[in-house]
Amino acid sequence: MRTIKKPLLFVLSIALLLSCKSDVNKLEVGQKTTIKVKEVYNAGDVIKGEEIKAKFKVTNTGKYPLLISQVKGSCACTIASKPTEPIQPGKSKVISANVKTEKKNAGELTQSVRIVANTVPSITVVRIKANVIVK
């Protein structure tokens, strides 16, 4: 009798899940969308030791929700954060990236942030540029 209860419970659970109404904003594997983002943030002159706080406005230009799965800086000095919720079509959210400059040499600085999302292509790279000066 016990062995019949588990399969029956499993079948009933699946039937219950399948009978739920579909949601308009339902996310499905394989839905690809497009984004618009300014590719370069120019911080201008930055004094060595200051932290650069870059913001990238990401707009979903497609017809499916935009899911950003990962944002990663090009080195340990670049820490990026992403929106936690999907970005609906036509809406925008911000990706923040902070660059620590205390260990950087004086002169031109370029750091990149890789954005992985349900887009084509799946990886978008944005850059943070600055001129590090020593006072």
List the domain range (segments joined by +) for residue 114. 27-133
Q: Is residue 123 part of a domain?
A: yes
Q: Is residue 15 part of a domain?
A: no
CATH number at residue 54: 2.60.40.10
Q: Is residue 94 part of a domain?
A: yes
The pair phi, psi for residue 19, each rounded to 5°, is: -85, -10
Block means of pLDDT (10 residues each) for the chain, 135 residues, are 57 52 53 96 97 98 97 96 97 98 96 97 97 94
The three-state secondary structure class of 127 is strand
Question: Could you give the number of structural domains in the chain?
Answer: 1
Q: Is residue 43 part of a domain?
A: yes
Which has the closest alpha carbon to 114: 2, 19, 3, 37? 37
Q: Is residue 6 part of a domain?
A: no
pLDDT at res. 135: 84
pLDDT at res. 20: 47
pTM over 0.85: no
pLDDT at res. 134: 94
Contact 88, 1 (CB under 8 A): no
